[in-house]
Amino acid sequence: MESASLPGGTFYYKRTGPIVAAVNGDIPASEAQSLLASVNYDADVTLTKPPNSIPKTILEVYHRRFHTGWIMVMVALIMDCFWRSADGGHSSTQPVFNRPADVISSG
Protein backbone atom coordinates (compact mmCIF):
# COMPACT_ATOMS: atom_id res chain seq x y z
CA MET A 1 0.00 0.00 0.00
CA GLU A 2 1.32 3.30 -1.08
CA SER A 3 0.48 6.75 0.15
CA ALA A 4 0.88 10.24 -1.23
CA SER A 5 0.26 13.65 0.27
CA LEU A 6 -2.14 15.79 -1.72
CA PRO A 7 -3.91 19.08 -0.92
CA GLY A 8 -7.21 17.20 -0.25
CA GLY A 9 -5.66 14.95 2.37
CA THR A 10 -3.66 11.75 2.39
CA PHE A 11 -4.22 9.51 -0.60
CA TYR A 12 -3.78 5.73 -0.17
CA TYR A 13 -3.82 3.34 -3.10
CA LYS A 14 -3.22 -0.32 -3.89
CA ARG A 15 -2.97 -2.14 -7.20
CA THR A 16 -3.95 -5.79 -7.38
CA GLY A 17 -4.21 -7.32 -10.85
CA PRO A 18 -6.08 -4.93 -13.17
CA ILE A 19 -7.80 -3.22 -10.21
CA VAL A 20 -6.57 -0.02 -8.56
CA ALA A 21 -8.23 0.82 -5.23
CA ALA A 22 -7.89 4.29 -3.76
CA VAL A 23 -8.78 5.90 -0.42
CA ASN A 24 -8.70 9.68 -0.03
CA GLY A 25 -9.82 12.04 2.66
CA ASP A 26 -9.65 12.55 6.37
CA ILE A 27 -9.28 8.92 7.45
CA PRO A 28 -6.78 7.33 9.86
CA ALA A 29 -3.90 5.52 8.18
CA SER A 30 -4.63 2.20 9.92
CA GLU A 31 -8.27 2.23 8.79
CA ALA A 32 -7.30 3.13 5.21
CA GLN A 33 -4.74 0.33 5.11
CA SER A 34 -7.20 -2.24 6.51
CA LEU A 35 -9.77 -1.13 3.93
CA LEU A 36 -7.24 -1.51 1.10
CA ALA A 37 -6.08 -4.88 2.47
CA SER A 38 -9.59 -6.24 1.91
CA VAL A 39 -9.35 -5.56 -1.85
CA ASN A 40 -7.85 -8.57 -3.63
CA TYR A 41 -7.95 -9.82 -7.20
CA ASP A 42 -7.74 -13.56 -7.70
CA ALA A 43 -7.77 -14.68 -11.32
CA ASP A 44 -8.83 -18.30 -11.49
CA VAL A 45 -8.78 -19.42 -15.11
CA THR A 46 -9.59 -23.02 -15.99
CA LEU A 47 -9.45 -24.57 -19.42
CA THR A 48 -12.37 -26.93 -19.94
CA LYS A 49 -12.27 -27.34 -23.71
CA PRO A 50 -9.42 -27.11 -26.21
CA PRO A 51 -9.43 -23.70 -27.96
CA ASN A 52 -9.37 -25.18 -31.44
CA SER A 53 -11.84 -27.83 -32.51
CA ILE A 54 -9.74 -29.92 -34.87
CA PRO A 55 -11.53 -33.18 -35.74
CA LYS A 56 -9.80 -36.06 -34.04
CA THR A 57 -10.94 -38.85 -36.34
CA ILE A 58 -11.66 -39.28 -40.00
CA LEU A 59 -15.22 -40.22 -39.01
CA GLU A 60 -15.78 -36.72 -37.62
CA VAL A 61 -14.62 -35.20 -40.92
CA TYR A 62 -17.06 -37.31 -42.93
CA HIS A 63 -19.81 -36.62 -40.42
CA ARG A 64 -19.34 -32.84 -40.82
CA ARG A 65 -19.24 -33.08 -44.62
CA PHE A 66 -22.41 -35.17 -44.66
CA HIS A 67 -24.29 -32.61 -42.58
CA THR A 68 -23.02 -29.70 -44.70
CA GLY A 69 -24.11 -31.49 -47.87
CA TRP A 70 -27.50 -32.34 -46.40
CA ILE A 71 -28.09 -28.72 -45.44
CA MET A 72 -27.11 -27.54 -48.93
CA VAL A 73 -29.54 -30.01 -50.55
CA MET A 74 -32.38 -28.89 -48.28
CA VAL A 75 -31.71 -25.21 -49.06
CA ALA A 76 -31.70 -26.00 -52.79
CA LEU A 77 -35.05 -27.80 -52.54
CA ILE A 78 -36.63 -24.97 -50.58
CA MET A 79 -35.33 -22.42 -53.09
CA ASP A 80 -36.74 -24.54 -55.93
CA CYS A 81 -40.18 -24.54 -54.27
CA PHE A 82 -40.11 -20.75 -54.00
CA TRP A 83 -38.90 -20.44 -57.59
CA ARG A 84 -41.70 -22.66 -58.88
CA SER A 85 -44.38 -20.81 -56.92
CA ALA A 86 -43.10 -17.47 -58.27
CA ASP A 87 -43.09 -18.95 -61.80
CA GLY A 88 -46.77 -19.85 -61.62
CA GLY A 89 -46.18 -23.55 -61.03
CA HIS A 90 -44.52 -24.21 -64.39
CA SER A 91 -41.49 -26.40 -64.59
CA SER A 92 -38.31 -24.38 -64.38
CA THR A 93 -36.52 -26.86 -66.65
CA GLN A 94 -38.81 -26.16 -69.63
CA PRO A 95 -37.35 -23.46 -71.91
CA VAL A 96 -39.45 -20.30 -72.35
CA PHE A 97 -39.63 -20.48 -76.14
CA ASN A 98 -41.05 -24.06 -76.09
CA ARG A 99 -44.02 -23.05 -73.93
CA PRO A 100 -47.48 -22.61 -75.41
CA ALA A 101 -48.38 -19.16 -76.69
CA ASP A 102 -51.00 -18.52 -73.99
CA VAL A 103 -48.38 -18.97 -71.22
CA ILE A 104 -45.98 -16.54 -72.90
CA SER A 105 -48.64 -13.88 -73.58
CA SER A 106 -50.19 -14.11 -70.08
CA GLY A 107 -46.87 -13.59 -68.30
* pLDDT of 7 over the 80 cut: no
74 phi and psi angles, rounded to 5 deg? -65, -40
The DSSP H or E segment spanning 68 is helix 58-86
Residue 72 CB neighbour total at 10 angstroms: 10
Q: Is the pTM of this model over 0.85?
A: no
Q: What is the pLDDT of residues 44-89, one digit of tens each?
A: 887 777 666 666 777 788 888 888 888 999 999 888 877 766 656 5
* The pLDDT of residue 13: 87
